[in-house]
Amino acid sequence: MMSCVDDETNVYSFHVNKFFKIQRAFHQFDVNHNGFITDDEVHQCLWYYYSYFNDFNIPYISSQMSYNQDEQVSCDEYMRFMCKIN
């Protein structure tokens, strides 16, 4: 659920349009729709969109997104990660 403030941003400080675009990307990664993305799901999506992607980077990327290091990334963790790199 998104919480907006007066300037059309949300708790992640994204403009509403960007928020929905990033959220949509999370749901594309979440292949089984359980609310989390795993290394396997990241691998599937990256292979589909970027067939040249290096498999060795996936655990590193996931570890950077998962704040509690539980080997799965929640939507909130994903959004917070995207805040850092955008």
pLDDT digits (tens, 9 = 90+) for 6-46: 455 556 677 788 888 888 989 988 989 999 999 888 888 77
pLDDT digits (tens, 9 = 90+) for 38-71: 988 888 877 776 666 667 778 888 888 888 888 8
Three-class DSSP category at 72? strand
Round to whole Å and give the CA distance between 76 and 79: 5
- C-alpha dihedral (21, 79, 36, 57), degrees to nearest 10: 90
DSSP 69: -
This prediction has a pTM of: 0.72
Q: H or E element: which one contains 85?
A: helix 75-85
Round to whole Å and give the CA distance between 70 and 62: 10
Q: Give the residue extent of every domain in the chain.
A: 35-85
Backbone angles phi, psi at 50, to 5 degrees: -135, 80
